[in-house]
Structure 1
């Protein structure tokens, strides 16, 4: 039943007071009580000993006066004892209990028979008596002559309230001291709680409040006693663990989204590839027939020039269509790679030779740059040349008349590949994400199919590499086809 407040959510400070300070105060009070009793007994004993010392001091003169019958000496001795201040009354009795001398305001109520018995026994006796309504303390000392015969009895008294006042003063001082100790103990516990527990625990509570409001980057200060530091350290470790878990979950979520997008893109590319391959196969034969017949007609010497010009235009259009069909076949083919160890320099020179005529027609300067002799790479030469041809044609079309295009190859540790740069306008940032989508093109209608970069990217991906676009040092676009390993 006593622990019910604690179950109701009592504060730590009040709990310390109830379960630590309060029991200590109770123990201190009980100990102080018995100590005070013991102290009062010591004080009372000391006051009684004062009476005994006075009695011993005047006993000798009194015995001498009684033995020689000097009443004046008795009165003088009693008066000197009374002047000490600690004595309430002094009385002298003979061997029969009759009072023969006294000094004091009141006489204690003691029968002569009792006094005679005390004198005859020769014992020193002390105790409390009533003297006309007042409580006094009496001390009896037997008197004897020089040969040891009993000659009388000496009685010294002191008011009981003197004892009570001293004892009351001691009691008040003890209670005051106990109260001060209790207050000091409570203050020390509260101060120690604030310094050691309160402010450090308050700092942890504030930290948890900040974290609860969403400040996940905040960490608790690791200060205070070892237990508090361990608590703050544990909370910070928990927050770090949660942050790492959230980061991992976020990375996994992004990775899952990327994989889903890649899967959708792969399905899309597969569907487009199947469509492109089917269309290319169906168009290949008719285009060959049209191209062959147009070529035979052009061989007829009697053909008028106007008609020959028309057949030449037909043949040029068919060749363009055949080029588109080849791109469709390259994009949609699923044939395995025919890998061979080939120098990068040889692949680059072959691709450049295939587009040299187009570059010359547009007066574009086409340069080759790279280490010679170049390292070998395990590639499908036909697929890699086709990828570079598409990149070079895009670069030639993108640059202005009289511009520059550079095809280079590189080898860096475990990476090697090709780079195609031009001095054209470059690729805007907003278009780079869609640049490699099939049939996406920024060219005018009739100038491109939007398959060149898709074919180049497919070739890079099939070789385990990547195709990236950036900004060239000469001002235009930079396409980097990277292969991940050497031959």
Structure 2
């Protein structure tokens, strides 16, 4: 019963919430409608006024054009009749009538009869007589708009002196206004459809901004509160306003950030605990390997030495071609291999504290190449060393760093059995030194890359490796406060990138002693 009642209460609260949100929606709708209607009335009124003004301008331009044509014809008619060439006047009228926009050109006598017309017309005299008489009397041009054959035309009358037997005449030029009417009709259509479009656009924008500024902030606040209540602390409300809703959003975000910081502190403490447990497990594993290696070295080392010594003693008394000698040599080789494996186990298990000194990377790499020179030549491997001049010193244990590059080069040799090229490059980046070792070998499958630094993991064939080399490298780099990364593509090659701190106070481990380099690390140039 309690659960049912609680559910009803929740439903009732939801309905109350919906009711509270209905108020802003109705207010927004009223605001949008009133705003759109006001803007539409102002916009349509303004554009209609602009249409009337444009109509005046177009007819004024038409009047100036007709006046210019009439004035030109007036002078041409007077000059032509002065020379007595009536046929030239007819040709002139036809040419003018062919001009764009000129409907008719007519020359009237003083009584309104037609002297000449293009195109020919005999029915216009009665209509134009009052206008002709006014032009003759006042000696001023006159123009008006009138309808003819259902179309509106502009008529312009001009006085022509001595046109007929020395008597004045009147020239009428009729221009069609159909083009102007088409332009005005197009503009009226644009006003109507443009007004409708703008109305829809303004309505949409007003509706959008009203919902955005009134309804959506409240709805977003409710959704964010529900999300945080479910355990997700990531929602934040954008603060883009300075009213009460903006202040509420600021306080809401502060609350969410405080909860998130508390959760992050808890997660960080949990991660530290897990990391400490992992390190403890790793230490226990190393201790177990150390005990195993020590036991193997003690229990197996002595018998192996006896077996190896007896085999070598027997080999000394045998001929080179003796089949038994071949078997004894195999025994000696395999015993040496077992001894190396035990030595590697011991070396991996022992905890060595790095002896930090300031040294140059060039000297370490030079010593490594000197040690592997014979093996590199035997396998046909060329090493390209690219070290820029003025490379800063490193605070490292040179012998441990030497071991890192020896292991990387030996891995590169195993990856390129047919010989190729290894590139070693270094670059100083801010407070770090980046050293890359790139080979053109068989590459490492993408699925194996996350595991290559694990102890005893190897991609080599059985008998070719113990899986400890890269694990040892990773441990040495971490002891020096650095990190190692690998990128590889099967069939193309592998690149190891080592990042080491270049300044003494950044290296982890014991205090740094400004000492000379140990013996056995020859000088090297950085060309």
Scaled by the length of structure 2, the TM-score of the pair is: 0.48
Aligned to 1:476: 493
Query: Which residue is equivalent to 1:62?
Result: none
Residues 1:225 and 1:315: Cα distance change in structure 2 (over 3 Å):
closer
CA deviations over 1:319-345 (Å, ceiling 9, x no partner)? 322322221122011233333443322
- Distance in 1, matches of 2:442 and 2:393, equals 33
In the alignment, what sits opposite 1:348? 365
- Cα pair distance change 1:432/1:292, threshold 3 Å: same
How far does residue 223 in structure 1 lie from its aligned partner after superposition?
A: 7.8
Partner-residue secondary structure (3-state), 2:384: strand
Q: 1:392 aligns to what?
A: 409
Contact conserved, 1:416 with 1:485, CA < 8 A, in 2? yes
CA contact (8 A) 1:283 1:325 kept: no
- Check if 1:236 corresponds to 2:256: no
Determine the C-alpha separation between the residues in 2 that align with 1:225 and 1:348. 64
Report if the CA contact (8 A) 1:331-1:455 is conserved: yes
Q: Do the aligned partners of 1:277 and 1:329 also contact (CA within 8 Å) in 2?
A: yes
Matches within 5 A, 1:242-321: 242-300=259-317, 305-321=322-338
Is the contact made by 1:472 and 1:478 (CA closer than 8 Å) also made in structure 2? no
Q: Deviations over 1:94-133 (max 9, x none)?
A: xxxxxxxxxxxxxxxxxxxxxxxxxxxxxxxxxxxxxxxx
Is this contact kept in 2: 1:294–1:315, CA < 8 A?
Answer: yes
Please give the residue correspondences for 1:445-464 in structure 2 after superposition, counting only pairs within 5 Å. 445-464=462-481
Residue pairs, 1:402-417, within 5 angstroms: 402-416=419-433
- Select between 215-224 and 456-465 the one with higher mean Cα deviation: 215-224
Q: Matches of 1:318 and 1:481 in 2, distance apart?
A: 35
Shift in alpha-carbon separation, 1:259–1:284, aligned structure 2, 3 A: same
Which consecutive residues of structure 1, in runs of 5 or more, have no partner in the other structure? 1-7, 16-198
Q: Which residue of 1 is the match for residue 222 of structure 2?
A: 208
Relative distance call for 1:275 and 1:230 in structure 2 (3 A) is same
Deviation at 1:393, TM superposition (A): 1.3
Please say if residues 421 and 474 of structure 1, whose CA atoms lie closer than 8 Å, have aligned partners that are also in contact. no
CA distance in structure 2 between the aligned counterparts of 1:392 and 1:386, rounded to whole angstroms: 10
Matched, 1:330 2:347: yes
| Larger displacement relative to structure 2 (422-431 or 369-378) | 369-378
Instruction: Tell me: higher relative CO, structure 1 or 2? Use CA pairs within 8 A at least 6 residues apart.
Output: 2
Taking structure 1 as the reference length, the TM-score comes to: 0.51
Larger radius of gyration: 1
Distance 1:373 1:293 in 2: 55
Matched-pair contact (CA < 8 Å) for 1:356–1:366: no
Shift of 1:442: 1.3
Q: What SS does the corresponding residue of 1:389 show, helix, strand or coil?
A: helix
- Partners of 1:306 and 1:379 in 2: how far apart? 51
Structure 2 vs 1, CA of residues 240 and 204 (structure 1 numbering), >3 Å: closer, same or farther? farther
Q: How many residues align?
A: 298
C-alpha separation in 1, matches of 2:297 and 2:425: 32
CA drift at 1:450 = 0.8
For 1:285 and 1:373, locate their aligned partners in 2 and report how far apart those are by CA, in whole Å: 51
The CA deviation string for residues 22-72 of structure 1, in whole angstroms up to 9 with x for no partner, is xxxxxxxxxxxxxxxxxxxxxxxxxxxxxxxxxxxxxxxxxxxxxxxxxxx
The one-character-per-residue Cα deviations of 1:147-201 (angstroms, maximum 9, x if unpaired) are xxxxxxxxxxxxxxxxxxxxxxxxxxxxxxxxxxxxxxxxxxxxxxxxxxxx959
Structure 2 gaps, min length 5: 1-11, 21-212, 505-527
Distance in 1, Cα, partners of 2:427 & 2:236: 48
